[in-house]
A and B are shown apart, each in its own frame.
Chain A
Amino acid sequence: MKLTQGTFSFLPDLTDEQIGSQVEYCLDKGWAVAIEYTDDPHPRNSYWEMFGPPMFDIRDAAGVMTELRACRQTFPNHYIKVNAFDSTHGRESLRLSFIVGRPDKEPGFRLERQEGPGRTVHYTTHAYATDRPEGERY
Chain B
Amino acid sequence: MGYTDIQSMSLWARRNDMILHLHRAGHSTYTRQKNHGVSFRVISKWMRLAGVDHIHAGTVVGKLEGDPNSVQGFYNVLREEHNAVDLQRGIFFDQDWAGLRGVMPVASGGIHAGQMHQLLHYLGEDVVLQFGGGTIGHPMGIAAGATANRVALEAMVLARNEGRDIWNEGPDILVNAARHCAPLRAALDVWGEITFNYESTDTPDFVPTSTAAA
Interface residue tally for chain A (C-beta within 8 Å): 15
Judge whether B162 and A18 touch: CB under 8 Å: yes
Judge whether B99 and A12 touch: CB under 8 Å: no
Is B15 an interface residue, CB under 8 A from the partner? no
* Distance, CA A11 to CA B163, complexed state (A): 18
Chain A residue contacts of B97, Cβ below 8 A = 90
Chain A residue contacts of B69, Cβ below 8 A = none
| Contacts A18-B162, A22-B161, A90-B99; A7 near B154 (Cβ below 8 A) | yes
Q: How far is the CB of A64 from chain B (nearest CB, A)?
A: 14
Is A128 an interface residue, CB under 8 A from the partner? no
Q: In this complex, which of A7, A88, A89 has the most chain B Cβ atoms within 10 angstroms of its Cβ? A: A7
Interface of chain A residues 1 through 40 with chain B (CB within 8 A): 7-12, 14, 18, 21-22, 25
Interface residue tally for chain B (C-beta within 8 Å): 17
Judge whether B155 and A11 touch: CB under 8 Å: yes
Chain A residue contacts of B162, Cβ below 8 A = 18, 21-22, 25
Given A10-B147, A11-B180, A88-B81: 11 more A-B contacts, CB < 8 Å: A7-B157, A8-B158, A12-B180, A18-B162, A22-B162, A25-B163, A89-B81, A90-B81, A90-B97, A90-B99, A96-B161
B residues sitting closer than 8 Å to A (CB atoms) are 81, 97, 99, 102, 147, 150-151, 154-155, 157-158, 161-163, 177, 180-181
The 8 closest A-B pairs by CB, nearest first: A90-B81, A25-B161, A21-B162, A10-B150, A10-B151, A8-B154, A11-B154, A10-B154
A residues sitting closer than 8 Å to B (CB atoms) are 7-12, 14, 18, 21-22, 25, 88-90, 96
**Could you give 29 example pairs across A and B, Cβ below 8 Å?**
A7-B154, A7-B157, A8-B154, A8-B157, A8-B158, A9-B154, A10-B150, A10-B151, A10-B154, A10-B181, A11-B154, A11-B155, A11-B158, A11-B177, A14-B158, A18-B158, A21-B162, A21-B163, A22-B158, A22-B161, A22-B162, A25-B162, A25-B163, A89-B81, A89-B99, A90-B81, A90-B97, A90-B99, A90-B102
